[in-house]
Amino acid sequence: MIKKITFGLIAFICLGSLATQAQKKVTEGYISYAAEYDLPPDQQMAAAMLPKEYKIYYKENLSKFVMDLGMMTNQMTSDSKTNTGLMLMDIPMAKQKIAVKFTEADYEKQKEMMPDYEFTKTTESKAISGYNAIKYNAKDKESGNEIEIWTTKDLEIPSNSFTQAFKDKIEGTPLVFVTNMNGMKVKLSFKELKAESVTGLNLTIPEGYTQMTMEELMSMSGR
C-alpha cells in the first residue's frame, strides 16, 4: 500500500496572521508547504513514512520539487520553457539511485493520463498567512473527485514543477491544496516563501545514477 501512496504522490507531481500584505514578487528562492494526511484505518502505519513538508526551489525557468519520504528522496527538476525535466530518486535501503529524463513528448503523454478537471472560481475568500486568498474548486469530469485550491495574487513566483498542472486554470500563487489521493485526504498548506540564491538547478544526471524510462520505473512499483 505504501508503494501506491508513494507513486501517487510522485505522479501528482505533482500549501497565521489576519493582516494583509502588499504584493510580493520573488523570482529566485523557494516556497514550502506543510503536509497533513487523513488516512483510512488500514493505512495508518504509512503515516510516519509520508513527507511532512514539500519544498520547491526556483530560478527563472527552472524549478526543483523536493520530497523526502524517509525511505527514499525524490527530486523533480523542470524547465518551463522547454517542457523538459529530470527526476532523481535515491533509495538508500535498496542501494539504488535512479534518474528519469522527461522530454516535451513525455510531458504531453503524462498530461493525457492526468484527470480532466473542470475549474470553478468561487466567491469565497479569506486571509491565509496574511495573504488575501480566493477559493477554486476543481472537479474530475470522469470520477467526480474534487480538489480545493486557495490562491493569492499577493504573491508572485515563477511557474514551477509543482504548479505547472494548474497553469492557465487558476489565477495567483497556490497557498492551500485539499484533495483525495489513493483513498486518503491530503492537505498542503503554505509554510514559507524565501528569497535566496539558488544553485545546482540543471537537467544533468549526476554520477552514480542509473537512467530509466518512466515505464521502467512504474513497473518497479507493480503498476
- Residues 176/128, Cβ–Cβ less than 8 Å: yes
Mean pLDDT calculated for residue range 111-129: 88
Cα(69)–Cα(63) distance, integer angstroms? 20
76-96 pLDDT, tens digit per residue, is 898 888 888 999 999 898 889
The pLDDT tens digits of the residues spanning 30-86 come to: 999 999 988 887 777 777 778 888 888 989 888 898 888 778 888 989 888 888 899
Residue position matching grid coordinates 505533482: 14
pLDDT in tens, 159-186: 765 666 676 788 888 999 998 766 778 8
- Per the listing, cell 527530486 goes with 75
